[in-house]
Amino acid sequence: MKLGHFTLLSGDTMKLLPCINKKVDMIFADPPYFISDNGKTIRGKRVVVKNFGEWDKIRSDKEKDKFNREWLSLCKKVLNENGTIWVSGTLHNIYSVERCLSELQYKVLNIITWQKTDPPPSLTGTRFNFSTEFIIWAAKSSQSKYYLNFELMKQINGGKQMTDVWRIPSVAAWEKTAGYHPTQKPLRLLYRIILATTHEGDTILDPFAGSCTTGIAANLLGRNFIGIEMDEKYVSIGCQRRKEIESTTNSNKILRKISENPDEITVLVNHARPQTLQLMIRTGICYLRAGDSKGSLQITPGFERMQYICLHSGGENVHIYRLLKKGTFQIWTKNTLEKYGFHPSHAPYYIVLHFNNTKEELFHKPSNLKQKINTYQARIRPLSDFTGIY
Ligand SMILES: C[S@@+](CC[C@H](N)C(=O)[O-])C[C@H]1O[C@@H](n2cnc3c(N)ncnc32)[C@H](O)[C@@H]1O
């Protein structure tokens, strides 16, 4: 696909938005969340001070409303009658954004919950761990004939209607080749948003462009981009990222990584006691109880795409192996398992998967394996949770 045009304006969005003299088809905005309070946060594996910059400093509700009202009202003037706007946030800013959108008579269509599959741990243990962000999707007005590619979304969701909860990992290290931005969004998130609500050749505006994730995803998908960013550092990261995709090899590589694939490979996550886990590794046999307490066997979607198993003991001692045959399992009795030296619990039947125990896979080991979840569905996770690559 031909790359779209890239225009990046350097300066204050409040001053530059009124200078845009053409209408845009879609707006994605990742405005300040106002969360920089000099508290502690985790970056990579390090504890760092939460200070993204002056633009993100804590503000009063009144100040937040004033700021959001101003840029959202400027955006409304450049948005096409049938265009839509996406605005991301957390509890710190999202209520203010929603208030202002309604006040300005945008029509809120959905609030997407982006559930990060790899959230950093909570440092204080005083609240539930933050693992989500919200993205409000709104039409310019209640009369707008807005666009949603519902069928495509269904297709990339494996044939099921896509819901408003999106499980997507945080930004991966390979997306930061041009430099560091503290609140960079993952390309895959923008890929989905852009495919869902724009056509090839459309123009997309991002009034808080940062490292230009929106611009990169837009251009890779043949959409034109106009971005505004006031920090020179980030402007140059954005331009560098744009240069990187001028090579067809690079752009194809990135597109492959961010494309959503209904045939995505899955991993079975299986907890076992340390001794049992060692025996599983020695024999190349992984087993789990077949069925629920009522004795029924339930095979959920994702099993047929399973290619790896991840063995762990309560979140520790994590090992990942490839199955000998994708999506294939056997049903064994308790007696058969006992012949291999296992001491399974009291269930009569077990699902058995054979894996290549001679070679351990060197994937990233997610920190949130220790979940008290019993359904097979919950144990089957996309390979991207382990690789950050799609
Ligand atoms: C949350 S970040 C956006 C990150 C972006 N989505 C990405 O993936 O890199 C917000 C950005 O808006 C910029 N910004 C904040 N206030 C601004 C303003 N008034 N005008 C222009 N840019 C602004 C900040 O410098 C920051 O880079």
Q: What is the mean pLDDT of residues 163-183?
A: 93
- Confidence band, pLDDT 50/70/90 cuts, at residue 377: very low
386 pLDDT exceeds 60?
yes
Write the CB contacts of 279 (distance below 8 Å, at least 6 apart in sequence): 340, 341, 342
178 pLDDT exceeds 80?
yes
Q: In DSSP terms, which residues pair with 268 in a beta bridge?
A: 309, 380
Q: What's the pLDDT at 295?
A: 56
CATH class of the domain whose range is 266-387: mainly beta
CA of 55 to the centre of ligand 1 (A): 8
**Which among 28, 55, 94 is the best mutation to test ligand 1's pocket, defined by most ligand atoms within 8 Å of the CB?**
55
250 pLDDT exceeds 50?
yes
CA of 216 to the centre of ligand 1 (A): 15
332 pLDDT exceeds 90?
yes
Closest protein CA for atom 24 of ligand 1: 210
Of the listed ranges 17-31, 265-279, 367-381, the one predicted with least confidence: 367-381
Core vs surface per residue 114-144: b (16+ CB within 10 A) or e: bebbbbbeeeeeeeeeebebbbbbbbbeeeb
SS3 content of the chain, % helix, strand, coil (to 5): 30, 25, 45
Residue 235 CA to residue 232 CA, distance in Å, equals 5
| Protein residues with CB under 6 Å of any ligand 1 atom | 12-14, 30, 32, 55, 181, 183-185, 208, 210-211, 213, 228-231, 234
Q: Which one is predicted more confidently, 85 or 159?
A: 85
Q: What's the pLDDT at 389?
A: 43
Which of ligand 1's atoms lies nearest the C-alpha of 171? 8
Q: What is the mean pLDDT of residues 172-181?
A: 93
198 pLDDT exceeds 70?
yes
206 pLDDT exceeds 50?
yes
What single DSSP character describes residue 325? S
Is residue 381 classed as helix, strand or coil in its secondary structure? strand
59 pLDDT exceeds 80?
yes
One DSSP character per residue, 204-221 reads EEETT-TTTHHHHHHHHT
Whole-number mean pLDDT of the chain? Answer: 89
pTM (2 d.p.): 0.74
Q: Which one is predicted more confidently, 233 or 47?
A: 233
264 pLDDT exceeds 90?
no
262 pLDDT exceeds 80?
no
Q: What's the pLDDT at 34?
A: 93
Candidates 3.30.565.10, 3.40.50.620, 3.10.20.30, 3.40.50.150; CATH matching 6-258 = 3.40.50.150
- Ranges of each domain in the chain: 6-258, 266-387
Residue 290 CA to residue 43 CA, distance in Å, equals 40
